[in-house]
Amino acid sequence: MASVTPLPTTTTSPAGEALGADAPVKERVQGVINLIRPAVQADGGDIELVDVAADGCVQIRFHGACHGCPSSSMTLHQGIERNLRERVPEVTSVVAVR
């Protein structure tokens, strides 16, 4: 399982610009995922943002060692979801899809 460490307080876009609360939700979610990704990759896995629904449900897909790992559920809820909800208040839930 990837241990997701505390993230920097500033979320950045894929291009590296700081994102404020006025940035689109999907862009802010992607910025947080980009911050989490190195910890997941360190354990041989990866995460992909699939979609952000209008109701705030974020869909992600696990890759590599994370796909099918028994600890991926804990990583999803205690690491990824917690960080997303703290940094992007519009996020209501995070689910893994295939």
- Domains recognised in the chain with CATH numbers: 25-96 (3.30.300.130)
Mean pLDDT of 16-33: 82
- Position 10 scores a pLDDT of 53
**Separation in Å, CA 44 to CA 47, 63, 79:** 11, 9, 16
Q: What percent of the chain has pLDDT over 70?
A: 80
Q: How many other CB atoms are there within 10 angstroms of residue 61's CB atom?
A: 15
Mean pLDDT of 57-81: 87
Contact between residue 45 and residue 55 where contact means Cβ atoms under 8 Å apart: no
- Greatest CA separation for the chain: 37
SS3 8: coil
